[in-house]
Amino acid sequence: MAKSKQKNARAHAAGAPPEPPLPPEFKTLAVDDEPAPPKRRATAESMATRQRDISVSEFFTKNRHLLGFDNPAKALLTTVKEAVDNSLDACEEAGILPELYVEIRETSAAQLAQVKPGAGKGGKGGKASEAEAAVGPGPASRFRVIVEDNGPGIVKAQIPKIFAKLLYGSKFHRLKQSRGQQGIGISAAGLYGQLTTGKPVLITSKTGKGRPAFQIQLRIDTKHNQPDVVGDTTVEWPKEHGTRVEIELVAAYRGGRTGVQEYLEQTVVANPHLALTYVNPKGERAEFPRVTSELPREAQEIKPHPHGVELGMLHTMLSDSEGKTVKQVLVDDFSRISPAVAAEVCRIAKMNVSTPAEKVVGDDLERLHKALGLVKVMAPSATAVVPIGESLLIAGLKRRYQKAEFYISMTRPPSVYRGNPFVVEAGLAFGGDLPVDEPADIMRFANRVPLQYQPKACAISESVYLTNWRGYEVQQPKGGLPVAPMAIAVHLASVWVPFTSEAKEAVAHYDELLREMKLAVQECGRKLAAHIRARAHLERDAKRRSMFEKYIPEVAQSISDILGVPKDKAEQSFYAALPNFVRFTDEGPANGGNGGGGAPPGAAAAKTPAAKTLAAKPAPDPTPPPPIKGKPKARAGKRGEQLSLTE
């Protein structure tokens, strides 16, 4: 303020009017004044009183979009998918050919969908109510999802934990191929149904003939992530064994690429041993009989591979091995490590093989982890991975694309990413009634489960986009999918599929995965190109053959007029020589040895006209004329041999 007064005094001495004083509300901004300290709104003690544990059920209640329940249509698909995956896993693990019954019933219009706009909001700009968030945009109704299987059933004591406790299961801690991984899916589906309708999940299960069938109603206590048994009864059930799951939820039933019908049709492609019955909300029934009675071989559980272990995981494994030496842990708890390899790892890490495992910390731990990555060991065993197989993948494609003209599939050798074994398969159906002027239909599978959302974020789709289809006689816009009457299926089988999220909608872009996918797709492309070129060759032969057959009668008539020979004899000679100039084959183009869908249209066109013509003409005498003495015998059917019409 003193500087301001001096400035006003100098201005007054110079004859200028003084500056007006600052208003009171701006005086706190003066240079020489200290700003007022902000008022404290909370203390460390008051903040500590508000800290508490967060249940995983509470977390996914507010973040259910992470699990695939972000809109009503997707919620319905996710519910069906999780129940079907569990049923298939249970049947295969028990060695039972799966027979599934899936039904979706529309019970009534959703009450939550009738919430008035703005109700439950905190004034303008407030957040939507829980009911509106549950329903989301678009029309929604109440549906009851029913999935019934003929699996081994579930022990009564385990039913509440399996269906009403998140992060509970048997597949997370073992390294073997399975559809489920995290122990979240079916419980999250029941949680979504509970949130949107308030109805409990109804489970009916029976473990064997002559044993009782238990029917249990479950809710999830979201605060404690614990099951709440609402009802428990014993019922009569004609099935010898199996499980029936019924979940009522607010959802939207839609068709198209991301619909339930599409998901089930793709499921039977990747699971040819599955017999499926599906009843949609309109009451329409669809039967998908199995095409093979051969169950996939059982996947074998393997131990962690040393090239895939991370530092924190290694520390945990060593800490939990009290009483063991480092060498014993390496040999017992890792795959492909023999005593000699374990000694080599310890030598590289500059560590004694007799060092107690629980005492390996700090720099010793880092050196040991680095040594595990440097030592040469065999790739992990592929017995933990069960691919579909080339013949069964073709059978699955024929199951869906019954009128395609060409099928091909191939299975890549086992490979490894982050120490996890995996196998990539690719299959292709071409021609027939598939649309000609539309992009190819891409089917993505991970451990035999169709992936229907986020195709642009998936490494499987990327492998198809990056393939140069023009080199395989197929049109392709720049950076797009091939445009052809074609369907492509790519399957990734692994002990741990690296999904981009908990919703399991897309595969992450690991270089090892992407490379194997591209190689599999390219191999199918090469065999497709051979088929397309062979078909084009047949079509050219058919065109040339048709031209010959068109003019043979006229030429024969002219020769008959000039030489005086019968027209029929001239025609017969021309038709007898015709196979020397054009191909007369009833076989279609090569199909790569994996089963084609019959001869292509070009082949049919090539053989039909000539076959009819030759059938109408008298067959030539197959007996060759006697050889002339002193000259070699002429070779019958020699290409370009001149016709003899005067003999």
Mean pLDDT, residues 88-116? 79
Between CA 250 and CA 142 the distance in angstroms is 4
Can you say how many angstroms the Cα of residue 107 is from the centroid of all Cα atoms in its chain?
A: 31
Strand partners, 418: none
Between CA 41 and CA 556 the distance in angstroms is 109
Burial class (CB in 10 A: 0-12, 13-18, 19+), 414: buried
In this predicted structure, what is the pLDDT of residue 415? Answer: 87
Same fold for the pair 311-374 and 385-530: no
- At residue 584 the predicted structure's pLDDT band, cuts being 50, 70 and 90, is low
Mean pLDDT, residues 80-90? 92
Between CA 265 and CA 275 the distance in angstroms is 12
Long-range contacts of 563-570 (CB under 8 A, 24+ apart): 563/645, 563/646, 565/645, 565/646, 568/617, 568/618, 569/645, 570/645
Domain 57-116+129-288, second-level architecture: 2-Layer Sandwich (3.30)
Reduced to 3 states, what is the DSSP secondary structure of residue 608?
helix
Mean pLDDT, residues 632-647? 47
End-to-end alpha carbon distance in the chain:
134
Q: Between β-strands 275-279 and 99-109, what pairing exists: parallel, antiparallel or unpaired?
A: parallel
In this predicted structure, what is the pLDDT of residue 32? Answer: 57
User: Of 453, 385, 456, nearest to 423 (Cα)?
Assistant: 385
Q: Is 464 within 8 Å of 520 (Cβ atoms)?
A: no
Between CA 504 and CA 74 the distance in angstroms is 13
Please give the residue that has the higher pLDDT: either 484 or 647: 484
Mean pLDDT, residues 147-163? 93
Least confident of 224-238, 294-308, 571-585, 614-628: 614-628
pLDDT in tens, 442-492: 999 999 999 989 999 999 999 999 999 999 999 999 888 999 999 999 999
- At residue 401 the predicted structure's pLDDT band, cuts being 50, 70 and 90, is very high
The C-alpha R_g of the chain, in whole angstroms, comes to 37
Domains in the chain: boundaries: 57-116+129-288, 311-374, 385-530
Give every CB contact of residue 551 below 8 A, 6+ residues apart in sequence: none
- At residue 432, what are phi and psi to the nearest 5 degrees? 70, -135
Please give the residue that has the higher pLDDT: either 386 or 583: 386
Reduced to 3 states, what is the DSSP secondary structure of residue 325?
strand
pLDDT in tens, 586-598: 544 444 445 554 4
**pLDDT over 70 (residue 301):** yes
Longest Cα pair distance anywhere in the chain, in angstroms? 146
User: Of 265, 155, 166, 257, nearest to 208 (Cα)?
Assistant: 155
User: Of 423, 422, 441, nearest to 432 (Cα)?
Assistant: 441
User: Of 204, 206, 203, nearest to 218 (Cα)?
Assistant: 203
In this predicted structure, what is the pLDDT of residue 607? Answer: 41
In this predicted structure, what is the pLDDT of residue 552? Answer: 85
Reduced to 3 states, what is the DSSP secondary structure of residue 395?
helix
pLDDT in tens, 118-142: 433 333 333 333 333 333 434 678 9
Tokens 């369907």 belong to which residue? 487
pLDDT in tens, 340-397: 999 999 999 999 989 999 889 899 999 999 999 888 888 788 888 999 999 999 999 9
Residue 578: Cβ within 10 Å count: 17
Q: Is 97 within 8 Å of 86 (Cβ atoms)?
A: no
In this predicted structure, what is the pLDDT of residue 474? Answer: 92
Tokens 């009017």 belong to which residue? 17
Q: Is 177 within 8 Å of 495 (Cβ atoms)?
A: yes
CATH number of 385-530: 3.30.230.10
Can you say how many angstroms the Cα of residue 412 is from the centroid of all Cα atoms in its chain?
A: 17
Q: What pTM did the predictor assign?
A: 0.73
In this predicted structure, what is the pLDDT of residue 632? Answer: 41
Q: What is the full DSSP assignment across 154-198?
A: --GGGHHHHHHSSS--SSTTSBS--S--SS-HHHHHHHHHHHHH-
Tokens 């059938």 belong to which residue? 615
pLDDT in tens, 432-447: 999 999 999 999 999 9
pLDDT in tens, 482-522: 999 999 999 999 988 999 887 888 999 999 999 999 999 99
- At residue 5 the predicted structure's pLDDT band, cuts being 50, 70 and 90, is low
Give every CB contact of residue 235 below 8 A, 6+ residues apart in sequence: 204, 213, 214, 215
pLDDT in tens, 28-70: 555 556 777 777 777 888 888 888 777 777 787 788 777 778 8
Between CA 342 and CA 8 the distance in angstroms is 87
DSSP tag of 421 = E
Q: Is 431 within 8 Å of 406 (Cβ atoms)?
A: yes
Mean of per-residue pLDDT scores for the chain:
81
- At residue 577, what are phi and psi to the nearest 5 degrees? -90, -10
Reduced to 3 states, what is the DSSP secondary structure of residue 620?
coil
Between CA 250 and CA 197 the distance in angstroms is 7
In this predicted structure, what is the pLDDT of residue 438? Answer: 92
Q: Is 351 within 8 Å of 325 (Cβ atoms)?
A: no
Strands (E), 447-507: 449-451, 486-494
**pLDDT over 90 (residue 545):** no
Between CA 115 and CA 619 the distance in angstroms is 84
Q: Is 397 within 8 Å of 425 (Cβ atoms)?
A: no
In this predicted structure, what is the pLDDT of residue 119? Answer: 39
Can you say how many angstroms the Cα of residue 255 is from the centroid of all Cα atoms in its chain?
A: 19
In this predicted structure, what is the pLDDT of residue 205? Answer: 95
Buried b (16+ CB within 10 A) or exposed e, 28-50: eeeeeeeeeeeeeeeeeeeeeee
In this predicted structure, what is the pLDDT of residue 130? Answer: 36
Tokens 């030592």 belong to which residue? 375
In this predicted structure, what is the pLDDT of residue 602? Answer: 41
311-374: what fold? Helicase, Ruva Protein; domain 3 (1.10.8)
**pLDDT over 70 (residue 335):** yes
Buried b (16+ CB within 10 A) or exposed e, 123-151: eeeeebbebbbbbbeeebbbbbbbbbbbb
In this predicted structure, what is the pLDDT of residue 325? Answer: 92
